[in-house]
Amino acid sequence: MKGAAAIIAVVMMFAILTALFVAYGPTLNLFGGGDGTLHKTDLQSDIYTMGHALDAAKLYMDTSLNYAVYQACYDNLQRAGLSEITPETGQSGLAYLPILNFAEFYNNMATTAETYINRYSDESYAFLSEYRVSLPSSTVIVTKEDEEDKFIVTSLPKSMMETYTQAGSGESVTLRASADLSKTYEMPCYPIYRKAAETNDEVLGFLQNTLSSAAEDIGERITNSETSCNSAGICGDLTNRLGEIIAGAAGTAPQDDEYLIETEMTDYNVIIDLVDSGKIKQFSISMTQVVRIQEKEPTYYPVWNGTDISFESMELVYLTGLTASTEIEDSG
């Protein structure tokens, strides 16, 4: 009898627990069929779809990191390796070539990449129009690999991706997932900058030769009174002559087997000072040029080029220039 009583007690306890689960706990049906089964199926479907939403959001962030890195490399090279141009580092939207080691170069690139990936994550990601995933802002770190053209980009989110839904019966479900990313890229970002740093002295040497040749030619013209300059300031006649000299020296840039190096004179002038008699006492020549460096056999990347989204090669652009003043000896 004791055994039968124990069995009856267990059955009754089981019935009570079942009733409590049905009344106050999650809706389910232990024996199949009924509203409980439908509700459980709907909830599982929501959770399943939310999981897919998080997976899709992670893929979106992975793709966003790629585009952020491509754009950061492209934009920084357009600024001579810098993340921004200040009045101290450049003018007219172009930067002077800075002195950067690889850590400084990649820190500048990380700053730009971080700006872009956080723009991608600024809005939540929508999956099937109903399931929205909140995306975290991230800190980006770029480190150098053993090979010079390889680097690692790590995106460290400040929180987790999160998606939320309110079930029809009143339950709320929140799922979270990590948005950590770390990828290795093989791109010529730093190698192009390094080539610019290696050849800059040679670029300036060609510019100095042009300036010296121009100073000698213009000095002779002034001494022989072959100029009509009659007031202090920029002399149009001598500036025109300077333009002819520069045109004759066009194309004088370093030659390299792997890289194409081009120079373009963008501004030049001759400024004169006069003595009381009206003779030219001193003149100065100023030259400014843009230098462009890219691989001769480049790889093309999808980037915003300032006008359109297109496939562009990575090209470093920087500004350089020289100014020299020359005294005219008084012949009497």
Strand extents, DSSP E, the chain: 90-91, 94-95, 125-127, 131-134, 138-144, 150-157, 161-166, 172-177, 181-186, 233-234, 259-274, 280-295, 300-304, 309-313, 315-327
Do 178 and 91 belong to one domain? Answer: yes
Range of the domain at 255: 190-327
Q: Is residue 10 part of a domain?
A: no
Region 101-125 average pLDDT: 94
Flag whether pLDDT at 225 surpasses 90. Answer: no
pLDDT score recorded for residue 2: 47
Do 243 and 177 belong to one domain? Answer: no
Work out the end-to-end distance of the chain between its first and last CA atoms, rounded to an integer number of angstroms. Answer: 141
Flag whether pLDDT at 192 surpasses 80. Answer: yes
Do 207 and 243 belong to one domain? Answer: yes
Do 71 and 154 belong to one domain? Answer: yes
Confidence of residue 131 (pLDDT cuts 50, 70, 90): confident
Do 46 and 112 belong to one domain? Answer: yes
CA distance 107 to 153: 11
CA distance 260 to 251: 12
Task: Tell which of 187, 210, 240 closes a domain.
Answer: 187
Confidence of residue 34 (pLDDT cuts 50, 70, 90): very low
pLDDT score recorded for residue 22: 39
Do 163 and 46 belong to one domain? Answer: yes
CA distance 183 to 41: 38
Element (H, E) at 116: helix 102-120
Q: What is the pLDDT of residues 227-271, one digit of tens each?
A: 778 788 999 999 999 999 999 888 788 999 999 999 999 999 999
Q: Is residue 134 part of a domain?
A: yes
Count of domains observed in the chain = 2
pLDDT score recorded for residue 330: 63
Flag whether pLDDT at 326 surpasses 50. Answer: yes
pLDDT score recorded for residue 42: 62
Confidence of residue 226 (pLDDT cuts 50, 70, 90): confident
Confidence of residue 195 (pLDDT cuts 50, 70, 90): very high
Contact by Cβ (8 Å): 54, 167:
no
Q: What residues have CB less than 8 Å from 247, skipping those under 6 apart?
A: none
Phi, psi of 89 (to 5 degrees): -105, -5
Flag whether pLDDT at 76 surpasses 70. Answer: yes
Residue tagged 């079930």 (tokens): 167
Q: Is residue 96 part of a domain?
A: yes
Region 171-198 average pLDDT: 93
pLDDT score recorded for residue 39: 53
Do 246 and 154 belong to one domain? Answer: no
pLDDT score recorded for residue 137: 94
How is residue 124 annotated by DSSP? P
Region 12-23 average pLDDT: 42
pLDDT: which is higher, 112 or 20: 112
Task: Tell which of 187, 214, 249 closes a domain.
Answer: 187
Flag whether pLDDT at 332 surpasses 80. Answer: no
Q: Is residue 24 part of a domain?
A: no
Flag whether pLDDT at 175 surpasses 50. Answer: yes
